Structure 1
Amino acid sequence: MEATQVLSPLNLREDDAMQVEGFEEALPLEMIFQILLRCDHVGALKASRVCKSWQALSTDSSTAQDIWKNIFYKELVFAGEREWGELGYKVTLPERDYRQVTLEALKWAHDKWPKNWDRKMMFFCPKEIVSLATGVAAPASPVKIGAVIGPLLGPDCNATGYRYFWPKALQAHGGKTLQESCWVYMTPDVIPDSTWKDYGTQCDMAKAFGGGVTDLPSVVTGTLLKDYATGKRLFSDIFTLCQESIGRVQLVVESFAPSGLRVNHDLSFFDIVKRGVVVVRKF
């Protein structure tokens, strides 16, 4: 049987090159679309420059949105609409330019995050959640989120999702929600060198790092969702200060143990060396 010749830049004659030049233009658009769906963000950016038909497909508003939404979920998201559905709740996702969000988030992680940090730290933080069983809406507060996810984190976890919630904090902030639903990109650890600092300095450090100090609903939702979705407990040996306070007392989310999260105050100095700040960006 005659061997089939494999064409390559090393063995192409000039007439062969003329025959295969522009072959990508002849590919069906559906095939190009499927190829782009398999790309990461680098591949998608490179592929969009291959030929006119690829460029047109990757810049078409609806098609590009599908391509970049796929990349967004594949490279960044650990909990989105699907995970909320698994928990028994419907959430309403806001319209976003997924290309812009993906590239902005990845650039931040590339420029600022330590190389060993988990980059898949994007999650959807809703203002409210709607029960799929009853259709009843409820505010997505720290109390509600804990009650939804806590019972699913194993027999050792308190049904509330918390092993301790400072009563004053529970009363003042337990029912707090975000002003609007959004995607939250959260650092998987406190930022470097942010421990053993006063809160004002930590706020400045968070801003210089490219985001802001986390709020209580975001860090609680993200931490509980990460455990539910991946089995990974964040901040198992570290504490993070939050924006919320009671008077001059700053709230802190303390190490996540099998029995649940701990929300306390920053009055105890025994473990102050472990208190840093988690930084978030919202999209």
Structure 2
Amino acid sequence: MDASPDFPRQSRVPVFNMPGVVTLAIGLLLAIQAVREFLLPDTWDIRLVLDLALIPARWTLWFDPGQATEVIRAAADTGDPSLEAAREAFARYIVGEHALQPWTLVTYALLHGSWMHVIFNSVWLAAFGAPVARRCGALRWCVLALAGTAAGGLFHILIDPLGAGPLVGASAGISALMAAAARFVFQPPVSGYGAPAWQVPPARPAETIPELLRNRTAVSFLVIWLLTNLLFGLVSMPLVGENAAIAWDAHLGGFIAGFFLFPLVDPREPRRH
């Protein structure tokens, strides 16, 4: 009689050990960047940016057309004479366009400024999006990422309502996933369940805010993340290899949304007292 324990069947290790929704999202971002770089004519690419990027001034002018003069003045006041004329001309185009384009509140995340930008975001998406997808599933993952993207866009509009510069990049949605992951990935290892050693212990509920504040690793991560984004905001520091400054406000809006929305989409059972 075979008395050996019933070990779970071992499946082959996949080439990409990431949830399908994360792999699909990264593939989509890279594919869009490749199409823009290698296939689209410049005029089509400009049209794509105009149709999908988030431009705060569009929203401001839709609700208050009287801000047109302020939008043009803000665009011209760049401190760089070489860019002043081009930025003012673009602002005048946005003023004359008078189009809200509400879908841009999320579609801006599909576009990136360069290969460095999209690769950088893909790395963070793989690192923090994967644990959230494994815990929540593809549908809840998408809801959280889209909510963070929209929240980041709205916060960017509130901080820079007269801005005529296009906002692109998936960083706000990734920031939401980072905040969601922070609610559970820094928990100490589970022990004391009494289950056989080869069985994976059940995942615990996400940490409450008081529990999170007592978790030194989680607090260190949150402090470093907030200070880094504050630094980007104070000095308008661009990403390495980039010319445009990082939209710290969109990051912050997405992070806040992910932090507080995660318990609503987390499928784990609540604690039993």
Q: What is the TM-score when the length of structure 1 is the normalising length?
A: 0.28
* Greater relative contact order (CA < 8 Å, ≥ 6 in sequence): 2
Structure (1 or 2) with the larger CA radius of gyration? 1
